[in-house]
Amino acid sequence: MIVKSRIKEKGINALMIVLLLLGTGIYSCSVQAQSFAPFKYMGFEGTFGVRSFGINSDIPQIDQMSTLVEGGSVGFTFGSDFLRAKLRAGGFYYSAASVPRTVDLFESETLLNFYPLQYFRKSENSFDIYLLAGVSMDNVKFYGHYMSDEKVNYSTSSEPFLGRITQFNTAIGLGFEYQLPLQGDFLHFFAEAKYGVPVSSDANRVAFENTSIERFTSVNVGVSFGMKQ
């Protein structure tokens, strides 16, 4: 219970920071309402990236284990020159070869990108920098042979599924974007890094109730494309 109390305390502080960033971005855009064009961009995106996190647990085999997972996500993007929303509905990530225990991650996240340099530009530019903030839901699944439990099926040739934790995280980060000059459409390449702080955590089995994810960092490269007004 100490672990969950610590998660809640850190999560509330991080959530307040994220809400402050979102509020500042929205207020700044309202001040610049004469040049703010909602939904100038509407399209899709795909990313490839890595997630790195530490595991705290009362299960000795995974406690203090550093984990790296690799994979990608697909989603939607829409917004203006100043603010763009990213809805990444499906992200699938799998354990890297260096991880001693098999851990898979399914992630859904909602992000808001804020482009501060747009306030100072008088013409379009190919390179841009953005700040990002948002929330994510992470389902972390554990596989292996290190738990003796009648609920686990060890008769299969592959590693059996042991349990899952579902964790909500806040995220802040920084990104760089390259925009190809196109007429009527957009094609953007980007790279970003972000850091997540847990807000809440829940397990599907009693054995994983005191298991949590901390020091959640991620790096993505990706492309977004679609219609430009």
According to the model, what pLDDT value does residue 132 have? 96
Least confident of 12-16, 103-107, 112-116, 129-133: 12-16
Q: Could you tell me the residue range of the domain that residue 192 belongs to?
A: 2-228
Tell me the average pLDDT across 199-211.
91
* Model confidence pLDDT, tens digit, residues 162-198: 999 999 999 999 999 999 888 889 999 999 999 998 8
pLDDT over 50 (residue 114): yes
**Which of these, 208, 210, 216, 200, lies nearest to 10 by C-alpha position?**
200
Which band of pLDDT confidence, cut at 50, 70 and 90, is reported for residue 124? Answer: confident
According to the model, what pLDDT value does residue 29 have? 45
Q: Which two tokens stand for residue 161?
A: 């599924």
Cα–Cα distances in Å, from 155 out to 64, 102, 144, 146, 202? Answer: 29, 17, 12, 14, 28
According to the model, what pLDDT value does residue 6 have? 47
Distance CA 37, CA 179 (A): 18
**Residue 108's CATH number:** 2.40.160.20
- Give the distance, in angstroms, between the CA of residue 4 and the centroid of all CA atoms in the same chain: 21
Measured CA angle at 183 (ends 181, 186), to 5 deg: 60
- How many separate domains does the chain show? 1
3-state SS, residue 186: strand
* Model confidence pLDDT, tens digit, residues 27-43: 444 444 444 446 789 99
According to the model, what pLDDT value does residue 38 have? 63
The pTM assigned to this predicted structure is 0.80
pLDDT over 80 (residue 228): yes
Q: Which two tokens stand for residue 12?
A: 């509330």
